[in-house]
């Protein structure tokens, strides 16, 4: 079976969108997924990028994640929330 290395950062809203869809897509394609988490904060720190301190970018990111989640029929959950909180 073909294999796909899936690199993702578990703290990313954008990774959430991929994580929620990859298993079904891989199954349909007949591909095994090898989960490869990594810490992007190290790379960001090395390049002096601090998204959390940039309120406008964070606000935009969450709105973008919400919009993309809706396109794929996924719930748009922020850290610290769960599905029970959204009923």
- Which DSSP string do the residues of 10-69 spell out, in sequence order? TT-HHHHHHHHHHHHHHHHHTEEEEEEE--HHHHHHHTT--GGG-HHHHHHHHHHHHHHH
For residue range 20-34, what is the model confidence (pLDDT) as tens digits? 899 999 999 999 999
Helix axes 13-29, 55-71, angle to 10 degrees: 30
What is the C-alpha radius of gyration for the chain, rounded to an integer number of angstroms? 15
How far is Cα 87 from Cα 79, in angstroms, rounded to an integer?
Answer: 17
pLDDT over threshold 50, residue 87:
no
User: How confident is the model at residue 79, as a pLDDT?
Assistant: 66
User: How confident is the model at residue 61, as a pLDDT?
Assistant: 80
For residue range 37-85, what is the model confidence (pLDDT) as tens digits? 988 877 777 777 666 667 787 787 888 888 888 888 888 777 655 545 5
This prediction has a pTM of 0.60
């Amino acid at each position: 079976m073909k294999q796909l290395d899936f690199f993702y950062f578990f703290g990313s809203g954008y990774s959430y969108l991929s994580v929620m869809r990859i298993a079904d897509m891989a199954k349909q394609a007949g591909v095994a997924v090898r989960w490869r988490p990594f810490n992007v904060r190290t790379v960001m720190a090395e390049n002096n990028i601090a998204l959390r301190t940039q309120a406008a970018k964070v606000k935009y990111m969450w709105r973008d994640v919400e919009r993309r989640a809706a396109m794929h029929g996924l719930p748009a959950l922020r850290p610290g929330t769960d599905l029970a909180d959204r009923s």
